[in-house]
Each structure stands twice: as structure tokens, then as C-alpha cells.
Structure 1
């Protein structure tokens, strides 16, 4: 009876061991692929963080141009208002304005 119990236990454990080995083997086979994909993504993300694409350069240049235009517009409106009130700044050219 003891022998049957030991035999039954060893057969049931061997099934678990086979399943565990199969699981381990599939993990070991796919692990290098997962690491390689992750490594490539990490490297490309690092390169993207360091480099600037042409579209990003164009966007930045456009943003700076719009900010400069807005600043010149504010300065011009302020100059027009000072000239209209009769209190121009020394750098204002009120003779060139039509208001």
C-alpha cells in the first residue's frame, strides 16, 4: 500500500514537474526577445530625448516668431496710446503715426 502511495505521489509530482519545466522553457525562449525589444525601445527613447527632429525645430521657430510678433504688437499699441495722450517716450516716433 505504501508503495502504491509513493508511486501515485511520484506520478502526480512528475506531471507538475513536466508542466513547470515546460513553462520555464517557454519563458526562457521568449525572455531574450522581450529583453531585446525593451532594450531597443529604451535606446530609441534615449536617442529621441537627446536629439531634436526637424519638425520640432520648425515648431519652436514658429512659436518664437509668434511670440515676437505679439510683443511688437503690444509695444506698438502702447506707443500709439502714449502718443495719443501726448506723453510719448523718448524713443517714440509719433510723427510717423496716423491716429
Structure 2
């Protein structure tokens, strides 16, 4: 019988996970930026367009599994479209009120 080295304990078995794909980053930075741009639409209409575009791009990347933040990207372009609808309603209403009060005389 062979003697075990160093006190008789057998060597530890190493466990490995074969065929494991490398961990992918679930970064949602693009979705975050898109949501911020869409929310800045409350200040001005100009930032809504990049928010909608970036929201669609981030949503497509999240659906393909290239990035995280699918829900945030969805919220970004929904908020962006709602801002456009809000401006489409508010601008004519405000112009009508201003016209009734003699702002354009």
C-alpha cells in the first residue's frame, strides 16, 4: 500500500464547467441615456427625438441579448412618444389661448 503524502490526505479534485460561455455584460447605459433624454422632453422638445432613437436602439440590443435594460429602453421610447403627443396638444391650445387674449394684435 502506497503512503499518502503529507499526512495521508488525498489530493483535492478540481471541478470545472466545460463549454461555459464567457459572462456577458448586462450594461444598460444606452437605455439609461435614452430615458434621460426622453424625460428632458419636459424642458424642451429637442431632446425627445434622441431619446426615442436611443430607446429603440437600446431595446433592439436588449432583445438580441447584447445589453440589458430592456424595460428601461421600452420606457424611454414610450415616454418620448408621449412627450410628442403632449406637445402636439399643448402648443395649439396655448396658441389659441394667446390669440384669445390679444397676443397677436
Classify the TM-score, shorter chain. 0.3 to 0.5
TM-score with structure 2 length normalisation? 0.39
Higher RCO (CA < 8 A, seq sep 6+): 2
Structure number with the higher helix fraction is 1
Larger Rg: 1
So what's the TM-score if we normalise by structure 1? 0.41
